[in-house]
Structure 1
């Protein structure tokens, strides 16, 4: 059975979370490459999370929050 696309509100929320991740990364003065290497993840995959084009797992969000030095709640509020 083919997988259906998530509703529009989920896609919008995913983009918002990506924006919050990007803001926290810039505040930490880190590049996408630095965060991706620390997770570890390929930079293009990390970029897709920041752009909201890819859904991050909870584990990945926890790793990103740790690298950025912020609580997970700050990224997903």
Structure 2
């Protein structure tokens, strides 16, 4: 659950990052389970990230590596 004091632009940015992860994952014909295994994280972590929840930088870096993209591609589109 998001912290009530989070500005809307932060919530929007997290959703956008999650959307970019999902689009790249689907484009590569990967399931959440496959991406999680490749990245070395739990599937629930991928699910939360794609849903726009707060995410650890280390998880974002692992997912970017598994998707074979630079982390800035996920952050800036």
Give the shorter-chain TM-score range.
0.7 to 0.9
CA–CA separation in structure 1 for the residues paired with 2:46 and 2:57: 14
Query: Distance between the aligned counterparts of 2:73 and 2:67, measured in 1?
Result: 11
Instruction: For 1:30 and 1:5, locate their aligned partners in 2 and report how far apart those are by CA, in whole Å.
Output: 35
Q: CA deviation at 1:71?
A: 1.2
Matched, 1:42 2:47: no
Give, in whole Å, the separation in 2 of the partners of 1:60 and 1:5: 24
Aligned-residue RMSD, C-alpha: 1.5
Q: Distance in 1 between matches of 2:42 and 2:63?
A: 13
Pairwise CA distance, 1:7: 1.2
Counterpart CA distance in 2 for 1:31 and 1:5 is 33
What TM-score, normalized to structure 1?
A: 0.84
- Structure 1, unaligned stretches of length 5 or more? none
Matched positions, count: 74
